[in-house]
Amino acid sequence: MATLSTGYIIVGAYADKLRRTLFAQLSDKLRNKEMDSKEIARAAAEVNQHLFDILVNELKLDKGDVVRIRIDYDMVDNSIRWKYDSLRIEAFRRVPEEEITSILSRKLAST
């Protein structure tokens, strides 16, 4: 079993980061012709479809919010099988600069 982890990444770039990370983890298998690049692309697309629904449609995260995604997977007959029960998402919402500036001005004016 292997684990894919995107590290901290903005929501607008998670899909590309996940795909690049998966290709990097499996680069030896690609080089040795043990695996087809189409299978890696297929698996990345599969999990990204689920993640898009969760991040955008359910959690309503914006492109500038930050996430870290981790999920385990197994290799079965040169095919990637995601272990969806291991999926972990950490999400951090971006606070608009105007809101921060307003709060800072108000707090600093009272000191």
* Parent domain of 50: 2-109
**pLDDT over 90 (residue 17):** yes
Domain count of the fold of the chain: 1
Band of pLDDT at residue 37, cut at 50, 70 and 90: very high
CATH number of the domain residue 19 falls in: 3.30.470.50
Give the model confidence (pLDDT) of 20-33 as tens digits.
Answer: 999 999 999 999 99
CA of 47: how far to CAs of 6, 58, 80, 87, in Å?
A: 13, 16, 11, 10
Q: Are 67 and 93 in contact (CB under 8 A)?
A: no
* pLDDT on residue 13: 97
**pLDDT over 90 (residue 52):** yes
Which pTM value belongs to this model?
Answer: 0.86
